[in-house]
Amino acid sequence: MFPEEAAVLVLLFFPALLFAFFFHRSFREIGFIRCGVFAFLGGAFSTIPLKWLIYPFFGFLLNEDLRSLISASTSVWIKALACLGVVGPVEEFVKLFCILVIIFLFNLEKKPKCVFFTFMASGLGFAFAENLDYYKNYGFEVLAMRGFLTSAGHLIFSGTVGVFLAKALPDAFEPISGKVFRGFSKILLGLMCASALHGLFDLFAFCFSAFQLLAFFFFLLSFGFYFLRESWIFFLRLEKSENLLPEK
């Protein structure tokens, strides 16, 4: 039993440890650890309204559990509608709402690097809670298949929203109407992109075998992590250039 329990702990916590390893230098900055912890917890707790309120409501409307409907349906169109029209947008919107609360709580809205970092931490928190729920309901086999993939997937989905939000929030609350519109347009675009990626990720998972999915997931994760890495470097350079500007 001990080897299985150890494997479960690795699958649950390894993504977070890997994240901490890559960003440990940022933890030295005042408030980064606190923001990361709160973002992780915010992402984890955002699964609660999904599990106990939102998805039961959809189940009530459909007279069937949404996930069971997607799994049992033989129609690709129904699966696509459910994944791209419901699961992706709903989960990304709930995560976005919870993390916006944390961002404004810590006054991070004009700190692009912190916003981006916070969203990625929230994605891991969401994945952690989701994987824990899957392990509780379906056992180790399901966790072993989805542990790393979903953690990496949610990191990419949340990171995508984070990129757009980091660029949008400084404009969204400017008193200039053009900037406000541009800021909120970026927020909506980020949410749509992340929702589409999330929906496609789930759709492929429901429609294809594990072997067939390898190429898709390899491409998605490779491109996704490259995108996150380049975005992080961009925000680091942006912060450095802003610090070099003379104070007004």
The answer to the question of residue 52 being in a domain is: yes
Cβ atoms < 10 Å from Cβ of 63: 7
Query: What pLDDT is stored for residue 27 in this prediction?
Result: 63
Query: What pLDDT is stored for residue 248 in this prediction?
Result: 47
The answer to the question of residue 242 being in a domain is: no
How far are the Cα atoms of 69, 139, 173 from residue 161, in angstroms, in the given order? 28, 31, 18
Q: Say which residue the tokens 């440990």 belong to.
A: 24
Domain that includes residue 87, residue range: 2-237
Count of domains for the chain: 1
Residue partners of 193: CB distance under 8 A and separation at least 6: 160, 161, 164
The answer to the question of residue 248 being in a domain is: no
The helix/strand/coil state of 237 is helix
13-47 residue pLDDT tens: 766 676 776 676 666 665 677 888 899 999 999 99
Q: What is the pTM of this model?
A: 0.88
158-198 residue pLDDT tens: 999 999 999 898 877 666 666 778 888 899 999 999 999 99
The answer to the question of residue 173 being in a domain is: yes
- Give the residue among 163, 154, 164, 150 at the shortest CA–CA distance from 213: 150
